Structure 1
Amino acid sequence: MTTSTTASPDPTSPDPTGPASSSADAQGTAFEDLPPRRTIREAVAASALGNATEWYDYGAYAVVATYIATHFFPEGTEGLFWTYAFLAISFIARPFGGFIWGPLGDRMGRKHVLALTIILMSAATFLIGVLPTYEQVGILAPILLAVLRLVQGFSTGGEYGGAATFMAEYAPDKRRGLYGSFLEFGTLGGFALGTMVVLLLQLSIGEAAMADWGWRIPFFVAAPLGGIGLYLRSRLDETPVFQDLEDSDEAVESATGGLRALIVKYWKPILVMSGLVVPLNIANYTLLTYMPGYLETKIHLTSNESLMVILVGEIAMMAVIPFCGSLSDRIGRKKLWWFSMVGLFVMALPMYMLMGQGFGLAIVGFAVLGLLYIPQLSTISATFPAMFPAHVRFAGFAVTYNVITSIFGGTAAPLNEAVVESTGFLEFPAVYVMLGCVVGMVALLFLKETAGASLHGTGIPESEPEDYGIEAMRAEDEALDAAGR
């Protein structure tokens, strides 16, 4: 294999992006750089739990949205719309978090940034549970809520890109899809945990107590989650990729070049990634954030029924995430993305119509859409970090992902709510998902397959068909076993 993007043994050599001497040499170097399996598993757990803490906040906030609407906004206003709008407020801060945390992560290291972001995230979520209500302090209540949502969004701007980069750089090249999928297992785990906590509270203390004070309890859970995640992350070293890069000239370039240099030099992967993040976020926040309130207020399911629909669907999605991640290691990421976006484009409208037919069919419709979305979700941390070289990977991922997410992710719930409420067109969320998939399919035409490629070095990783597949995966496993790992 000859490619300018395979790492040379010495990333600080005069020509770090030059061709490797041979495929075997490059593969051997990659095997030598692999950390022990136990360390890889600890890195996976630390990244996934931090991600679960982040998305627990979004999940808990989404499923108690109707309670927040009554406590933080005056009667007679569109409380649910404003509750979703305040969810979108956090996304305003995400790009700024990406601008700050991304370059810091490329300069200081992934580990230090991730420790700071998980502290900020869990603290902001916890404090929502102790906020005074509109009845108690008037307009100050929504102002304080907005401030905490901004803090949460700012920290998330570094958390997600950092966790995905951290996971990708620890994972073996031929198993990056499998290991990376556990980051998204944490995503759905956080959503599911938020749904489960609220459902159990409603069943145990009743909806009256839940509406009065019980809605605060889910936010308190963020504190122990964040503490465990911080402990796990503090025990790990920096990623092998960052350690190789740390004292190189490229590391200095990433710290001093600035965002303008990043955009000028790497505008192609930024544009392609932007196009892929559009359908990813529209589907994610339409299905997982907007859906609880939609099922309750538009389809008129009970609160417990709507939570059951979401919980069953999320558990089904979690069950298949590792299988999709592993499959992407065998056949590549692009095929799974094609399957997901074409499937969502075809099935979104009929599944939304099916969900309008009652509780049982709502479970089926939501689960089908969720399972079609999983091939995208499960391969994020294997696909996106590999689009940038090591010295700008954190910044490239964090800036691109968070800017597009702030536009299309944070606005998904309030936009869907505004259109459905004003027009009565209950299937609009399906049409919005379909439009996102069109954008994604265009971007996918320009995506270069990176499955199996090495993330070491300063060239953009790029694989050829022979670089990934069962034989390459077996060779990597044999090398690990031979090394006693």
Structure 2
Amino acid sequence: MSTSEELAGNLNASTRKEERKVLAGTLVGTTIEWYDFFIYAQAAGMVLASLYFAPLGTENAGLAQIISWASLGISFLFRPLGAIVAGHLGDRLGRKLMLVFTLILMGVATALIGVLPTYAQIGIWAPILLVLLRILQGFSAGGEWGGAALMSVEHAPRDKRGFFGAYPQIGVPCGMILATGVMWLLTTVMSEEAFLTWGWRIPFLFSIVLIVVGYMIRRAVDESPVFKEMQERKKESAAPLGLLFKHNWKEVILTALIFIANNAAGYLLIAFFASYATKAPADGGLGMDRSAVLLASTLAAFGWLVFTMYGGILSDKIGRIRTFQIGYVWVLLWSVPMFLLIDTASIIWFTVAAFVLTIGLGLSYGPQSALYAEMFPANVRYSGVSIGYAIGAILGGAFAPMIAELLLGRTGTTISIGIYIAVLSVISLVAVSVVKETRGSNLRVEEAHQEYLRSHPEAR
């Protein structure tokens, strides 16, 4: 072997090693972040209404549950702020720094919820402090996804961006598997009284261990090569947010609209399904066994993981837009039949309903990192994808469980919830169909900048 061939082999081996570190860092980090977020979503549907919104619960259990769902949604209102701060600093200081910061912030907020006194112990301060910690979680989540998505996509070969970008995406179902699995284990081995008294705190405190693991992995990941190139070429902007809203406001709006249906349907799967299925019929639920429902939800999350990864891979072959379109048509067609199956109160049909939904969720989520990264120029990319994602989360999943609860109470039928998801699916389907196919576009700074100027002459 010649010296040049040996050097090339060593370079390729080094590149592959770094790629594996990036994929591991984005996957583990997003899994931990979303575990923290989903643990709250699970608890909001099971215990928080009675423990932190007690006065409402004594008068009206349904209203207490609605307020509990609202506390889940409040944090989404602060995602854009987190996205703006982390996006601005990520475009200026680097993707890696923001990833570590958001991971630690999310973990601290989650662990503190695990030791927070209840309403019976400190009165009105309990729900106030709970909401403040939720705000910290929302701020953290707003900056988390954009950094993880760009770290994976910007390290990827051009023909594998969908595949690489699917890794931070599967952090969502992985986080759901971990969160729901922990809840299932606790509700299986503990009595109902013990779980409501102290057992529900264990998943929140477990976050401390996960944060240490995630920090060690993310610290070892190199900075994004595109950001390094920006630094070398001094292309970073003194005011990337100003440039973003001046030249890319249409892309921000489209990324938000593209996300709303997936996020809303996803949060019904994550939180509302289990709450609705396990509540007593007198409280408007189906009265199903909690452990069985949590196990079914965990199995559905595995489907979400598989189809999300497949969605990323498929988008490298047939394009981001076509993959999204298939996914949203699937969700649209399944929205109403899904609830008809759930309402049978059969654990088998509940599992089928949730699992089939994950096919559409995966296909409309797997390509997201690659599509969003390819829609923005490098110097505002972190800000653009983060803010668009955060706004989409507010319009989609933030209050989806609360809206579902209100629709159920007002109409008395879950078909109204299915229609709600179907309408959002149409909106997201139209939004993604407006976008020109991005697969194969150049993410490197100089070439991408020239392409951007050709398509946006007003920015010259």
Gaps of 5+ in 2: 1-10, 280-284, 453-460
Note if contact 2:321-2:433 (Cα within 8 Å) is conserved in structure 1. no
| 1:139 Cα offset (Å) | 0.4
Aligned to 1:301: 288
User: Pick from 310, 325, 334: which aligns with 2:297?
Assistant: 310
Q: Distance in 2 between matches of 1:336 and 1:34?
A: 32
Residue 395 (str. 1) matches residue 383 (str. 2): yes
Distance in 2, matches of 1:196 and 1:461, equals 48
* Most deviating of 421-430 and 219-228: 421-430
SS in 2 for 1:410: coil
Shift of 1:404: 2.5
Aligned match of 1:76: 59
Q: Residue 341 in 1 paired to residue 317 in 2?
A: no
Which of 45, 49, 55 aligns to 2:34? It is 55
2:410 to 419, 422, 436: 422
* Distance of 2:373 and 2:417 partners within structure 1: 29
The amino acid of 2:127's aligned partner reads P
CA 169–132 in structure 1, closer or farther in 2 if over 3 Å, else same: same
- Determine whether 1:455 maps to 2:438: no
Query: Is the Cα–Cα contact under 8 Å of residues 325 and 433 in structure 2 kept in the other structure?
Result: no
Distance 1:93 1:271, change over 3 A: closer
Match of 1:40 in 2: 19
TM-score (normalizing by structure 1)? 0.85
157 and 44 in structure 1: CA distance in 2 versus 1, 3 angstrom threshold? same
Post-superposition shift, 1:446? 1.6
Q: Give the Cα separation in 2 of the matches to 1:267 and 1:115.
A: 28
Amino acid at match of 1:49: V
Give the deviation of 1:412 after TM superposition: 0.9
Of the structure 1 ranges 279-288 and 91-100, higher mean CA displacement relative to structure 2 is found in 279-288
Q: In structure 2, do the counterparts of structure 1 residues 98 and 426 end up closer, same or farther at CA, with 3 Å as the change threshold?
A: same
Report the alpha carbon displacement of residue 261 of structure 1 after superposing the two structures with TM.
3.0
| Superposed counterparts of 1:10-21, under 5 Å | none
Conservation of the 8 A alpha-carbon contact between 2:39 and 2:179? yes
**Which residue of 2 is the match for residue 213 of structure 1?**
198
Per the alignment, residue 264 of structure 1 pairs with 246
2:341 aligns with one of 346, 354, 361? 354
- The Cα of 1:321 is off from its aligned counterpart by 2.9
Structure 1 residues 145 and 436: alpha-carbon distance in aligned structure 2, compared to 1, 3 A threshold: same
Pick closer, same or farther for the CA change 1:370–1:43 going to 2, 3 Å. Answer: same
Corresponding pairs, count: 429
Residue 270 (structure 2) pairs with residue 288 (structure 1): yes
Q: How far is the alpha carbon of 1:453 from its aligned partner?
A: 2.6
Say which SS state the counterpart of residue 36 (structure 1) adopts. helix
Letter in 2 for 1:256: A
Equivalences for residues 446-485 of structure 1 within 5 A: 446-457=434-445, 459=448
C-alpha distance in structure 2 between counterparts of 1:274 and 1:59, whole Å: 21
Aligned pairs (5 A) from 1:33-182: 36-65=15-44, 66-74=46-54, 75-77=58-60, 78-182=63-167
Contact 1:355 1:362 in 2 (8 A): yes
Instruction: Spell out, residue by residue over 1:114-167, the C-alpha distance to the aligned partner (whole angstroms, 9 max, x if none).
Output: 111100001101111100000000001001100100011111111111111111
Aligned-partner Cα distance in 1 for 2:14–2:171? 22
Is 1:234 aligned to 2:238, yes or no? no
Q: Which residue of 1 aligns with 2:4?
A: none
Q: Which residue of 2 aligns with 1:467?
A: none
Contact 2:260 2:428 in 1 (8 A): yes
**Alignment partners' CA distance in 2, 1:228 and 1:67:** 28
CA separation in 1, counterparts of 2:153 and 2:410?
43
CA distance in 1 between counterparts of 2:169 and 2:112 reads 25
Distance 2:450 2:405 in 1: 41
Q: Secondary structure at the match of 2:436?
A: coil
User: 1 CA distance for matches of 2:193 and 2:411?
Assistant: 32
Pairwise CA RMSD: 2.0
> Is the 1:455–1:461 Cα contact (8 Å) retained in structure 2?
no
More helix by share: 2
Unaligned stretches of 5+ in structure 1? 1-31, 464-485
What's the TM-score once normalised by structure 2's chain length? 0.89
Structure 1: how far apart are the matches of 2:243 and 2:442?
24
Aligned equivalent of 2:257 = 275
* Contact preservation (8 Å) 2:256, 2:390: no
Partner Cα distance (1:461, 1:141) in 2: 54
Report the CA distance shift for 1:325/1:461 in structure 2 as closer, same or farther (over 3 A): farther
Does 1 or 2 have the higher relative contact order (CA < 8 Å, sep 6+)? 1
CA 460–276 in structure 1, closer or farther in 2 if over 3 Å, else same: farther
Matched with 2:306 is: 319
Residues 34 and 172, structure 1, Cα contact 8 Å, conserved in 2 = no
